[in-house]
Structure 1
Amino acid sequence: MRVSGLRTTPSESANRSVRLRAMNKRAICTLSPRLDVAFRRSVWPSRAMPARRHASSYQLLNLLEATGQVGVWSLNLRTGEMSGSLGLAHITGLPSDESLLGLLDRLLHPDDREALGELFDMLYSGRAIDRTVRLVRPDHTVRWVSVKAQIVLDDAHRPMRAEGIAFDVTGPHEARLLAEQSTARYRGLVHAIAAVVWTTAPDGKARPSPTWQVLTGQTGPEMQGDGWLAAIHPEDRARIETAWRTAMEHGTPYEADHRVLCADGTVHWYSNHTIPLHDADGSVREWIGIMQKMPPSGRFSSPEITGTLVRGARAMLRWSVVDLARAAGISVSSIRRLEEEVGTVQPRTRSAMRRALEG
């Protein structure tokens, strides 16, 4: 016997077939939009299951579907008839009494319709499916739905029915997309300002940084821990190590100008700005730093804050303009003028932004 692509021995098949036939006398798991009636009459036949277990299972499934994010369905692979639960109706946005025939073809997002034929081919060939697709509901909202199904075979081991479940995964899926977009913007900003970005563990031990490795020629293992100090000019190394240790001990922002031994054999001055990121309890979760090459005109220990630096810092902190305005006690328009380099921004306003970003 084969269920969902799994094979069993003849003896196992015989035993399992008996169980399936015994349970399938009342079409187990073939649910209809009237979930309460279908579940009570088909899933747990009264002779096979105590009434208490029957009611408990029914209530559990109803509780799951009450979240509005779970629905079950059944597809007869011989007649093409499809039925679903009230939970599925909620996910799709269809009335519970509407026929589900052609459901996927009508609701599937245009960009996902090519997968429809493949999904049905898998079901009719006796293979389980596990796919995430987009549905466009009648109210024109788009939902991401994870569809899973297994195959039930008849006594001749031919696909008879597909039993499936659908999960509304719109929230987690869109959160992941937003995180990917945020990461892409962050990388774009780092590239745009030609910066070196690096992070450390709470104890200050450096983690591998692709931009640092390109600049210095160090490998990931070579720069980890305190290995990055080897790429600092020998005359600056002790000063930088002391400043870094002090910042870690007090949990305060770290700023320093120093020379870096670059991979091409040259030496250049860089301005390093590193801040601690805190957990809710106030403990340091990690340190994140950004380094920019200093202009040929000479060193500067505290460069004027620019729109590019503000955008980069906001991206690292995942702050919106409103978040920064609230933290700095300034107007949103002042931040926009600085970032867009339109108009004049008072020095005290720049200082307030800097304190908020570094604090």
Structure 2
Amino acid sequence: MPEEGRGAAPDIDAIRSFAELALHPIVVVAGPTHRLLYANPAFAAACGQDCAEPDCRPTAELFPAFAEGGHLAPLDLVRTTGRPFRAEARRLPFGGPDRLWDVDAVAIRARDGIITGVLVQLHDVTALRGRLRQAEAATAMLEAVLEHAPIGLAIAGPEGGLQRLSRHGLAFAGRGLAECLTGGPAADGWAATRGEGQPEVLPLARALTQGEAVVREPWLLRAWDGTERSLECSAAPVRDCAGRIAGGILAWTDPPEAGIGLDARYRALVEAGALAVWTAAADGAVVSFGGWGQFTGQTPAQSVGWGWLQAVHPEDRGRVRADWAASVASGEIYEAEYRLRGPGGAWRWTAVRAAPLRDMRGQIVEWLGVNTDIDARKRAARALRDSEARFRTLAEAMPHLVWQTDANGEPDYVNSRWRELTGLDLPQLRGGGWLDAVHPEDRQPLAAAWAAARGATQDYDVDARLRDHEGRYRWHRVKAAPVCNAAGIVRHWVGTCTDTEERHIAEDRLREALAAREQLAREADHRIKNSLQLVAALLRLQAGRVEEPAAREALEAATARVQAVAEAHRALQQSPDFRNIRLSDMLRELAAGAAVHHPAADIRTAAPETLTLDAERAIPLALILSELVTQALRHGGPRGGPVRLSARLDEGAILAEVECHGDGAGCGSKAGLGQTVVKALARQIAATLTEGEGRVTLRLLQEPG
């Protein structure tokens, strides 16, 4: 992890390219104090502060409530471990006390894998949690209806199989009768029939196959022993959000003794569900309302007949009256959506459905209708349309190529910049036609990466060359991200293509310059090595002509030191990156150099081939080891054993050792210039020098401190 204020920084421009358009808050922080590097407009809007210029200040300074509430602690784990963090339905100190947020935090890494920051995304799930609570309340209400409704109720799947049965329905005639009415096996021998000329298809079967709503249809049930029972059956399909039939509901009661109407207790249960339930005469004039007053503020006297139309929005009133009159005349089920004025004067969208109730002769005697509040759904649909319009406006204003596909990756939108650059319009891009704009060498990897991103539902980020309308290719960074619904299912993909041709040209030039510089450095180092070897040869020649033993010994020591530096440079030339020296190469070169002065010496080396040390410390280390080997060979005596020169890694530190055996004075440094050189160089590279029986050990950190 880079220290505070050091190391690589996240690519904020790349993050901004998608975060600026995001509708949910996104921030980027870095360092132990969580310096705020970037916050998108959605975050600024949510927290009510201008975050356009965060000035890299600590988050605790900008938003003290976050630190006080312990909301920054998870970011420390992401920053230090690299593991993503996710929390659901958190209350955060902005946006209002009742808002709930899902929090996702992931580490941002540089190309070398070092964590440079943390990307935090917040998703407002207040409405989703509210809908979940509503769904739970609706489930509880269904359970209450099945438990307490004083009629037979059965819920069937799309194939007609009985899934749920009310308690009253079981007590009414047992499960066998219910299975008979739903079209299943009649365990108790029941058979359902109707009068002459009447359809014999059961109400639930018609609801499931034809989508028909059946209301109070008389049926006669006959048991195997001749017992007969008359019932009134109602059925309706249950549709999913796409309008497909997902099941059905069947209700049955004994025929009323007189008149036609709903059971009072059942009406109370329905009205408890915040629905307006009403009945109308055969001519369409409303007779009674249940819950209408709470829904609209009208009194019963104001709403009966055709007075209820005064609660309908003036723009919808004429259409509603005409459609209702047409349904009354045709006897067909009435369905509509319109706005109603509430008690406070606000207009709210409502969905209405009404079905005719017929007598035994098939004549309509009254209508039963239900109004449901759909204002939230309408507002959500309008907000979605507005959001898409804003997206189109932003996409057309952006200098990038902007595109969108459906959940399967089929293009359904490109901005004008795309069309101007490539000359390809939307119909030409479908069916894989977009690959025609990609360089032939980039098509296969680009298509494979796109397929992998769609399969894993993850962001997509690659470089590829795109062809303009004149046939020229330019490098672009192609990025895309999935847009999911509340259930996490991909709705569509949004992507951008940003021109990076100049960056690629600059990178190519930089690589060429680096390669040239490295070649120049290698050539210079080669010349340095040759020059040092020349100096060593001259010193060796001079030492051979000096008769004074002390002077000759001093010249030989100087020759060995110069030779050690030359051998370190030779090892550096063998380095793959020209910045670090393989210690195994350096030890072998030192042994070979020492053997020149001591042909009979037995010098053995050992070091892992992967163990390296930076050149700035490797050359002083080579001088130290050369000095110690020279002393070991010089003072080892006539029967001196082998000299072992080794290096290894031990708990993050490099241990370099010179070990000798024999009857001589050993490997320790002797008083004089050699001792001074060894200790001075050891201090220079921050190495710890330890002398033992026949062994000298240097310990230094693998990475510079």
Residue 198 of structure 2 is aligned to residue 12 of structure 1: yes
The amino acid of 1:234's aligned partner reads P
* 1:1-359 alignment, distance < 5 Å: 10-12=196-198, 16=218, 23=255, 25-29=257-261, 39-40=263-264, 58=265, 61-68=267-274, 70-78=275-283, 80-86=285-291, 88-95=292-299, 99-115=303-319, 116-153=321-358, 158-193=363-398, 195-199=401-405, 206-211=409-414, 215=422, 216=424, 218-223=428-433, 228-234=434-440, 254=461, 256=463, 258-262=464-468, 264=469, 266-267=471-472, 269=474, 271-277=476-482, 288-292=494-498, 299-300=502-503
Task: Please give the alpha-carbon distance, in whole angstroms, between the structure 1 residues aligned to 2:441 and 2:293.
Answer: 71
Task: Please give the alpha-carbon distance, in whole angstroms, between the structure 2 residues aligned to 1:124 and 1:130.
Answer: 14
Task: Please give the alpha-carbon distance, in whole angstroms, between the structure 1 residues aligned to 2:457 and 2:323.
Answer: 59
- SS at 1:274 equivalent: strand
- State how many pairs are aligned: 251
Task: Please give the alpha-carbon distance, in whole angstroms, between the structure 2 residues aligned to 1:244 and 1:80.
Answer: 60
Task: Please give the alpha-carbon distance, in whole angstroms, between the structure 2 residues aligned to 1:131 and 1:246.
Answer: 45
Identity %: 21
- SS at 1:221 equivalent: helix
Aligned residues of 2:483 and 2:494 also touching (Cα < 8 A): no
**CA deviations over 1:203-232 (Å, ceiling 9, x no partner):** xx8433442996446442224xxxx54531
Aligned residues of 1:233 and 1:259 also touching (Cα < 8 A): yes
Select the structure of larger CA radius of gyration.
Answer: 2
**CA deviations over 1:176-218 (Å, ceiling 9, x no partner):** 22112212221232233363314587xxx84334429964464
Gaps of 5+ in 2: 1-193, 200-216, 220-229, 233-253, 505-705
Task: Please give the alpha-carbon distance, in whole angstroms, between the structure 1 residues aligned to 2:457 and 2:315.
Answer: 53
Change (3 A) 1:252 1:103: same
Task: Please give the alpha-carbon distance, in whole angstroms, between the structure 2 residues aligned to 1:144 and 1:291.
Answer: 41
**CA deviations over 1:273-310 (Å, ceiling 9, x no partner):** 52544879xx996763212567xxx6346xxxxxxxxx
TM-score by length of 2: 0.30
Task: Please give the alpha-carbon distance, in whole angstroms, between the structure 2 residues aligned to 1:131 and 1:167.
Answer: 11
**CA deviations over 1:147-178 (Å, ceiling 9, x no partner):** 11112345665543211111111112221221
The amino acid of 2:477's aligned partner reads N
Aligned residues of 1:251 and 1:284 also touching (Cα < 8 A): no
RMSD of aligned alpha carbons: 4.5
- SS at 1:23 equivalent: coil
- SS at 2:414 equivalent: helix
Gaps of 5+ in 1: 1-7, 31-38, 41-57, 302-359
Question: Match for residue 340 of structure 1?
Answer: none
Change (3 A) 1:74 1:209: closer
Aligned residues of 1:247 and 1:254 also touching (Cα < 8 A): no
Aligned residues of 2:312 and 2:340 also touching (Cα < 8 A): yes
Task: Please give the alpha-carbon distance, in whole angstroms, between the structure 1 residues aligned to 2:218 and 2:313.
Answer: 39
Task: Please give the alpha-carbon distance, in whole angstroms, between the structure 2 residues aligned to 1:284 and 1:250.
Answer: 9
Task: Please give the alpha-carbon distance, in whole angstroms, between the structure 1 residues aligned to 2:457 and 2:364.
Answer: 67
The amino acid of 1:221's aligned partner reads G
- SS at 1:74 equivalent: strand
- SS at 2:310 equivalent: helix
**CA deviations over 1:51-88 (Å, ceiling 9, x no partner):** xxxxxxx36x53443232x22110113593520113x3
Aligned residues of 1:273 and 1:291 also touching (Cα < 8 A): yes
Task: Please give the alpha-carbon distance, in whole angstroms, between the structure 1 residues aligned to 2:284 and 2:452.
Answer: 75
Relative to its length, the structure with more strand (as a share) is 2
Change (3 A) 1:270 1:181: farther
The amino acid of 1:75's aligned partner reads A
Task: Please give the alpha-carbon distance, in whole angstroms, between the structure 2 residues aligned to 1:244 and 1:78.
Answer: 61
Task: Please give the alpha-carbon distance, in whole angstroms, between the structure 2 residues aligned to 1:242 and 1:155.
Answer: 66
Task: Please give the alpha-carbon distance, in whole angstroms, between the structure 2 residues aligned to 1:144 and 1:67.
Answer: 17
Question: Match for residue 341 of structure 1?
Answer: none
TM-score by length of 1: 0.54
